[in-house]
A = this chain, B = another copy of it.
Amino acid sequence: MFEIYETKERIIEDNDAEAAKTRKYLADRKTVLINLMASPGAGKTTTLIRVINALKKRYRIGVMEADVDSAVDAEIISRQNVKVIQLHTGGSCHMDADMTRRGLKKMGIEDVDVVFLENVGNLVCPAEFDVGAALKIMILSVPEGDDKPLKYPLMFTVSDAVLINKIDTKEIFDFDEKRFEENVRRVNEKAPVFAVSAKNGDGFEEFTAWLEGQIRKELEL
């Protein structure tokens, strides 16, 4: 047997007032912000490229790439001919609402309908900070394991949709889709779960159809 010991109460800074300001900033400009979250290497950038290509005929798209360091992702995204800015969080493991609004201002969103924020690769902190987005989408990649909703419950609770990426490797990693969805349902009753492969494109038709429906709803508000 073993003990469970709560070492520290959660400290959440007052980020909510800033998130309201960021929401107003976006609403005034009729821009929809989508917060994309996942572990390092789960496939955020590759997923984003598929989504951009599905949406860019109908919407003017902007991308904010948030990283502690480097511009690896912004370089890749810039080849998609969409507006892109690299944000450096200076060691912070997540974006907050103030940093997000400053990023939006710096990039300029007057000519942008939909902005994707690719958050820092992390399943903990990004879940705690409302950046002012209309939609939160998280990606769990198959090699991470189907037990992750138990260990990182907040991320799964706050997400509006969950993607299972690298679904083409599920046999190799003994990933049980049914068990995963049950684990998601313990903390989130309604977020749709989409199994996809950003590498080969499987499952993207269904996901991007859902996403477009959500974007349309937001733009009509």
Give the B-binding residues of A (Cβ under 8 A). 1-12, 39-41, 66-74, 78, 84-93, 95, 99, 102-103, 106-107, 120-125, 128, 141-145, 147-148, 150-154, 166, 169, 172
Are A166 and B143 closer than 8 Å at their CB atoms? yes
Please state the number of chain copies in the assembly.
2
Query: Are B128 and A91 in touch, CB under 8 angstroms?
Result: yes
User: Nearest Cβ distance between residue A15 and chain B, in whole angstroms?
Assistant: 13
Please state if A72 and B3 are interface contacts (CB–CB under 8 Å): no
A/B interface sample: 24 pairs, CB < 8 A = A2-B85, A2-B86, A3-B86, A3-B106, A4-B71, A5-B87, A7-B87, A7-B89, A8-B99, A10-B91, A10-B92, A39-B40, A39-B121, A41-B141, A68-B154, A69-B150, A69-B152, A70-B151, A93-B124, A121-B123, A121-B152, A142-B143, A143-B169, A169-B172
Chain B residues in 8 Å Cβ range of A73? 151
Check A92/B40 contact, CB under 8 A, given A124-B122, A147-B72. no
Contact A84 B2 (CB under 8 A): yes
**Would you call A88 and B6 a contact (CB within 8 A)?**
yes
